Amino acid sequence: MSSKESNVSEQAISKLAEEGIKSQLDQAESLDVDIRTDPGKMVQGEVDEVAVEGHGMVIQNDLRTEEMTLHTSGVDIDMMKAAFGDVILEQPTNATARVVLKAADIQHAFNADYVQQKLRGQKVELPSGEKITTDASNVSFTIPEAGRIAVAADVMIFEKVETHHVSFSAKPKLIANGHGVTLEDVSYDDAGNDKPELTQALIDTTESLLDLRCFELDGMNLQFDQFTVEEDALVIEAGATITSFD
């Protein structure tokens, strides 16, 4: 295979992989898949490197990622299946992944229909034993400083037809060997909050929204290594096992 033919094959498979990934997204402002190898290896389906870079990708549940990158070392592609439009790997390969989330995008996700449905009709038990039904709205998510997040919301109690403004800040920590985030060192910022149970319900919802498995695409399994709160974004780093780009 000539260098020119190899280039064409690389571009064709890169395009197939792009289309396969895009088919799993609700939206993507930009997505680039770059497959690199040499002519002798290409005919055998042997690839030296795959690099995926996406911006403005909405994976699921209205959660937008500012940036998502994925890098693999050598992979073996099933060329027969690739000829029919499926970029399937001969065997799983390891990769590294990095996801960047802006605070504004997480706030948007909190106020999107999927999360609003989870917030609506939550059951909360008060110290008296009374069970109430709540609904949260006007959710605000900010990063007041590196290492901490802050969440605030208006929580309505249906049974009493009254609304309480609740807020807290906390330090997110990656759960060991898990896919989630737990919130530690919680500070109840609203001194007038007379129902901490409502705040706890909001904390629970925040932790459930930060279920990192939502960043996994078909053919991808992530092992999360690091979760960092920077001054203007959340940064997630992970190892990945890839079986396909389809």
Is residue 193 very low, low, confident or very high in pLDDT (cuts 50, 70, 90)? low
Burial of 200 (0-12, 13-18, 19+ CB in 10 A): middle
Note the pLDDT of residue 190.
Answer: 58
Q: Is the pLDDT of residue 5 over 50?
A: no
> Rounded to the nearest 5 degrees, what angle is found at the Cα of 145, between the Cα atoms of 105 and 174?
70
Q: Could you tell me the pTM of the whole model?
A: 0.81
Note the pLDDT of residue 194.
Answer: 61
Kindly report the number of other CB atoms within 10 A of residue 242's CB atom.
21
Is residue 184 very low, low, confident or very high in pLDDT (cuts 50, 70, 90)? very high
Q: Which of 80-89, 126-135, 201-210 has the lowest mean pLDDT?
A: 80-89
Note the pLDDT of residue 1.
Answer: 45
Stretch 108-121: mean pLDDT: 79
Stretch 170-193: mean pLDDT: 81
| Tokens 């609506």 found at | 120
Q: Which of 66-75, 178-187, 203-212, 235-244 has the lowest mean pLDDT?
A: 203-212
Return mean pLDDT, the chain. 82
Residue closest to 172 by CA, chosen among 182, 161, 159, 164 = 182
Q: What are phi and psi of 199, to 5 degrees?
A: -65, -40
Domain map (residue ranges) of the chain:
3-102+212-244, 105-209
What beta strand segments (E) does 12-87 contain?
30-36, 46-47, 49-58, 64-72, 75-76
Are residues 50 and 71 in contact, defined by beta-carbon separation less than 8 angstroms? yes
Strand arrangement of the beta sheet that strand 181-187 belongs to: 122-125, 131-145, 148-157, 162-174, 181-187
Q: Is the pLDDT of residue 77 over 50?
A: yes
Which DSSP state fits 93?
E
Q: Following DSSP, what letter does each residue of 208-220 receive, concatenated?
A: HHT-GGGGPPTTE
Q: Is the pLDDT of residue 27 over 80?
A: yes
Partnered with residue 149 across adjacent β-strands are: 170
Stretch 36-59: mean pLDDT: 81
Is residue 8 very low, low, confident or very high in pLDDT (cuts 50, 70, 90)? very low
Q: Is the pLDDT of residue 32 over 70?
A: yes
Stretch 12-31: mean pLDDT: 82
Q: Is the pLDDT of residue 116 over 90?
A: no
Q: Is the pLDDT of residue 133 over 80?
A: yes
Note the pLDDT of residue 93.
Answer: 83
